[in-house]
Structure 1
Amino acid sequence: MIIPKTREEIELMREAALIVSKTLGMLASEIKPGVTSLYLDNLAETFIRDHGAIPGFLGLYDFPNTLCVSPNTQVVHGIPNDQPLEEGDILSVDCGAIKQGYYGDHAYTFAIGAIDPETEKLLKVTKESLYVGIKEFKLGNRVGDVGYAIQQYCESHGYGVVRELVGHGLGKKMHEDPEMPNYGKRGRGKKFIEGMVVAIEPMINMGTHKIKQHRDGWTITTFDNKPSAHFEHNVAIVDGKPELLSTFAYIYKALGIVSDEEDTFRKEALVL
């Protein structure tokens, strides 16, 4: 059952989402060759708690850490460890936080130093597909409209769209209805309603869409050991249109990136 949120609840969820956004922005300055994902995890937990929130992933379904960190061929759910990052790696960082009883949850795939052009294109297309999907998240459309848009965009570039892992509704629980696949058919699935809040999160592979799960019960990698990218935003339907609750602006500020990609989905400029 879809649980629509009131305007007041959406504002509370915006606060939770922005804690995650600020956490990812803080980490953006720390992600570099030689750094370990366990170091990043410790930084994130401290930052989230210092900002009056609770790590959303830590202990959820018995997950052992604050961040899911997934380098290179890992798709999602990677467990932080003491292996140093290397020049040319990519790293998907997925983070969650709970504030005032509501979840924020989003992700960004970082380049570690200079990366090869093929991988750079994968990151670019995956992030673009996120906004292609968000455009379809509006009153009267259906789950399949978002999935179809993302799938068509990514497959047109020759990439594999992961089937087994999907986006989801968001609220007082990390995972609410509806599931939000990154593939589908137009006009199919549950209809979007005012006040819905979801996490839209393309998980896109350079090669096959197939994946495999490791014995730790968490880590997911590509079946053909080619790179994978993951970007995620939290989005609400407000006055019939998609409105971003999360932002990559803190990441871009840390990395010196200029972008207007989020402007369409905001009623007013974000004050950093």
Structure 2
Amino acid sequence: MTIESEDQLEKLRAVGGLVARTLAAMGKALEPGMTTRELDALGRAMLEAEGARSAPELTYGFPGATCISVGPDCAHGIPDDTRVKAGDLINIDVSAELDGYFGDTGASFAVPPTRPRVERLCRDGRRAMWAGIRAVKPGGRLNAIGRAIETFADRNGYSLVRNLSSHGVGRSLHDDPAEIATWYEPEDRRVIPEGLVFTIEPFLSLGADWVDERDDGWTLYPPLEEPTVQYEHTLVATRRGPVILTLA
């Protein structure tokens, strides 16, 4: 969506702040021995306490309030009785609807003790996301985001998953514009209008450029099980620079 009023911006800030606080609390609570179902219950309680509804549950009938993926899975994992173990790489994606507006955020967490290469991957996953955010400019090309992220990935020896992309958000979980590549797509000539609300969420990997779906119909994983991370913010493009809506 494209913001048309201050009221819309404030409602987007409200839901963005809520999903950000929920993600932060879930990341802080993450510890060996707990189940992903227990972690999801924490997220659900925080969302419902403020009158919000889980966006994947509301929109797609997803079997959980949040998506929790235990590596090598990297997206859309279903909360269940899987127990967190030391050394796990876990992605948590939190999205919600509040007062008719949607916010979406996510992050990967390495449960200590962490292997140095995974620790670097997590650090650089955040850096890749911010490289894309810094490329946002009203009047500029949407593909400048992917170009900045791909340049970062190539320079640092990583691959990018190319069948998962960023997207518009706001009045729905997946709003216009659809499928914003986090790699460079020279044929994409779309321009960023002022006020555009969308996510930036690269999937940075130690070798994977594709993910497959498991038999549960939801969970996504790299076929060769390469460690893969995702970091995501919802933002608004403004003349003064991108405004991040999902800061805790």
TM-score, normalized by length of structure 2?
0.95
Output the amino acid matched with 1:232.
E
- In 2, Cα distance between equivalents of 1:43 and 1:92: 15
CA distance in 2 between counterparts of 1:52 and 1:38 reads 21
Distance 1:72 1:155 in 2: 23
Instruction: Report SS of the residue matched to 2:237.
Output: strand
- The residue aligned with 1:158 is 157
Does the aligned pair in 1 maintain the 2:23–2:105 contact within 8 Å? no
Q: Distance in 1 between matches of 2:190 and 2:165?
A: 15
1:246 corresponds in structure 2 to 246
Q: Quote how far apart the aligned CAs of 1:213 are.
A: 1.1
Q: Which residue of 2 aligns with 1:54?
A: 53
Partner of 2:207: 207
Listed as ranges, the matches of 1:13-162 within 5 Å are 13-162=12-161
Please say if residues 139 and 240 of structure 1, whose CA atoms lie closer than 8 Å, have aligned partners that are also in contact.
Answer: no
Distance 2:243 2:163 in 1: 27
Paired letter, 1:82: D
| Structure 2 residue aligned with 1:12 | 11
Return the alpha-carbon distance in structure 2 between the equivalents of residues 32 and 98 of structure 1: 28
**SS in structure 2 of the partner of residue 18 of structure 1:** helix
1:197 equivalent in alignment to 2:190 = no
Aligned residues: 247
Q: Percent identity?
A: 29
SS in 2 for 1:96: strand
The letter for the 2-side match of 1:15 is A
Instruction: Tell me the distance in 2 between the aligned counterparts of 1:215 and 1:188.
Output: 33
Equivalent pair of 1:35/1:85 in contact (CA under 8 Å): yes
Q: Secondary structure at the match of 1:158?
A: coil
**Larger deviation, residues 164-173 vs 231-240:** 231-240
* SS in structure 1 at match of 2:117: helix
Letter in 2 for 1:230: Q
Alpha-carbon contact 1:154-1:204 (below 8 Å) kept: yes
Q: Is the 8 A contact 2:110 2:118 kept in 1?
A: no
Q: Please provide the CA RMSD for this pair.
A: 1.5
**1:115-152 deviation line (CA, Å, top 9, x unaligned):** 10001111111110111000111111111100111111
Displacement after TM superposition at 1:199 (Å): 0.8
**Larger displacement relative to structure 2 (125-134 or 237-246):** 237-246
Q: Which 4+ residue blocks in structure 1 deviate beyond 3 angstroms?
A: 2-5, 185-188
SS at match of 2:79: coil
Q: How many Å apart are 1:29 and its aligned residue?
A: 2.4
The alpha carbon displacement at 1:240 in A equals 4.9
CA 11–239 in structure 1, closer or farther in 2 if over 3 Å, else same: farther
